[in-house]
Amino acid sequence: MSPLKKFDTAVLLDMITEGVVLIQKNGRITFANNSFAELSGVDNHSLTNMLFTEFVARQDKQRVARFFFQLIQSSGSIKDTTEFSFKNRSGTEYLVEMNARTLTHDNKNSILASVSDITERRKTRNKLKKLLDLIPEVVLTTSPEDITRIVNISNATEKLCAIPSEEFISGAFHIFDIVHPDDYDAVVHFYNDIIDKEFDSLEYRIISADGQTKWVNDSAEVIYKIGGRGKIENILHFIRDVTERKMHMQQLTSALDKLRVSEKRYRNIIETATDAIFIVTPEGRFQQINPAGIKLFGFTDLEQALAANINDHYLDLKQRAYVIRQIKTDGEITDYPIRIKTVSGKIREVTITAGAKKDWDTGDLESYQAIIHDITVTLHKKEIETYRRTMKGLADSINNLAQTYFSFIGLMKENLSDLKQDPKHLDTALEELMADINVFRKSLERLARLGKIARDAYATPPDISEDGSSNEGMYYFDTR
């Protein structure tokens, strides 16, 4: 009677599609289910008391015997897995996977093992491996029972970490062995937690056998058995080299940091600039404007400025049309003099430098960017200087006329004195005196005209033309 009969488990074990055997300490079979009998080619009754190793291929006999010995010698309930070539009674070999564990029955240590034919699965795996080897990224699977046991791995390991895949399959190396020390704990947690998360990814550094430090992206996913009712087949890891991307990202981050610094400096320059700097839409509405611009146009704050339109501040819209036309023709306009009016209605003399910003893809106009320099004070200074020079010219002219008048008066005195001393020449002296009086009268007329010129000069300011030039220098007075 089978030792398992008393547990009423034999019938249940016969329903299992995998082969199940109970092996004594001496290596002999004490029970085998129908699936194992079918796999071995021996009926259930004949299997009893047969050595299990009779069904192990010659090259694997010692390894399987050692496997059983280690299980039996271990204390407590231990389970383990191994693969070997199974040879049935007809000589046909299969690649099988055996999951075995120790149990105590009648105070004796025995081994309960399940044997699965994985020949087709291994062939499929080999075909899959050939396909995976064509992929430049590393693809590996680990056992759900032991994350340190790599079940399969592609040949891309040699390119990634300079270690052949066989070294990982044999257990000589594990991914943990090449992880950067600073990332080791995070990677171990990542591998341990993947079953709970079912899907996750992590980027970490590895150190290849040739000493290179590389960044990798490890995407892991739990693969369940088909029809296995939630049982896990293995853990699939897809590892790709992202070093170049990381380097680019670091360079980009560095460039962005520098750009932020430059932008901050640029903003500081704009914010502290004494010239008005602003951006307007093609329709003229303000989009951005610096404090100097707010002050120049007389806005109370930025909100009021952004609600305004530059067109409302041109004193002459013909000047705006000219500015726009020059930008469209030449791409920009530089130091062009215009006149603007502030919110309060004051007139300011300014020069404008402006250009257009266009969309990179479509070429459509997005905005106008401009700098306005207030030259009102400068022009007023020029006007004052012009008046100063005018007054100097007037003073010089008046001084010259005054000197002439004094000369005429002196001559007339001399003529009158001569006339008193020599009355005989009265007629001649009167003629000369009348001539001097005529000259004196003309001088007075010239002085009158000079006075009119002075009044006109004060009434009419110097001519400031549209291009910003003015009639500077000393005025010429025609007092003839």
pLDDT given at position 377 = 72
Nearest residue to 375 via CA among 405, 336, 410: 336
Q: Rounded to an integer, what distance in angstroms lies between the CA atom of residue 342 and that of residue 200?
A: 62
Q: What's CA 102's distance to the chain center, in Å? A: 60
Asked, for residue 256, whether it belongs to a domain, the answer is no
Taking 50 as the pLDDT cut, the residues of the chain under it are: 1, 4-7, 463-480
Residue 308 lies in a domain: yes
Instruction: Yes or no: say if 34 and 19 are a contact pair by the CB < 8 Å rule.
Output: no
333 domain residue, yes or no: yes
Residue 59: inside a domain: yes
Q: Establish if 475 belongs to a structural domain.
A: no
How much is the pLDDT for 457? Answer: 58
CB 20, CB 113: distance < 8 Å: yes
Residue 33 covered by a domain: yes
Contacts of 448 (CB under 8 A, 6+ apart): none
CATH number at residue 346: 3.30.450.20
Choosing from 64, 93, 117, the residue where a domain stops is 117
Are 41 and 70 a contacting pair, CB within 8 Å? Answer: no
User: Residue written as tokens 């290849």?
Assistant: 208
- Return the closest-CA partner of residue 2 out of 24, 25, 18, 26: 24
Structure tokens at 101: 């564990």
Show contacts of 298-306: CB within 8 Å, 24+ apart. Answer: 298/342, 298/343, 298/344, 298/346, 299/343, 304/343
- Count each helix (H run) and each strand (E run) in the chain, helices first: 14, 15
β-sheet bridge partners, residue 278: 289, 370
Widest pairwise Cα distance in the chain: 190
pLDDT at position 4: 47
Helix pair 376-421, 426-459: axis angle to 10 deg? 170
How many domains are contained in the chain? 4
For residues 280 and 307, the answer to whether their CB atoms sit within 8 Å is: no
CA 371/CA 96 separation, integer angstroms = 83
Work out the end-to-end distance of the chain between its first and last CA atoms, rounded to an integer number of angstroms: 155
Assess contact for 149 and 173: CB atoms under 8 A.
no
Do 126 and 171 fall within a single domain?
A: yes
Angle at 125 between CA 124 and CA 128, to 5 degrees: 85
Predicted local confidence at residue 384, as pLDDT: 65
Residue 254 lies in a domain: no
Query: Looking at this protein, which amino acid is placed at residue 396?
Result: D
Of 192, 221, 241, the position where a domain reaches its end is 241
Assigned domain for 261 exists = no
Q: Distance between CA 311 and CA 286 in Å, rounded?
A: 10
Residue 348: other Cβ atoms inside 10 A: 21
The strand order across the sheet containing 93-105 reads 29-32, 19-23, 108-117, 93-105, 79-87
Q: Do residues 113 and 127 both lie within one domain?
A: no
Helix (H) or strand (E) holding 288: strand 286-289
Query: What is the per-residue pLDDT for 408?
Result: 66
Tokens representing residue 36 in the block: 């194992």
Count CB atoms within 10 A of the CB of residue 160.
21
pLDDT of 405 reads 64
- Domain span holding position 99: 5-117
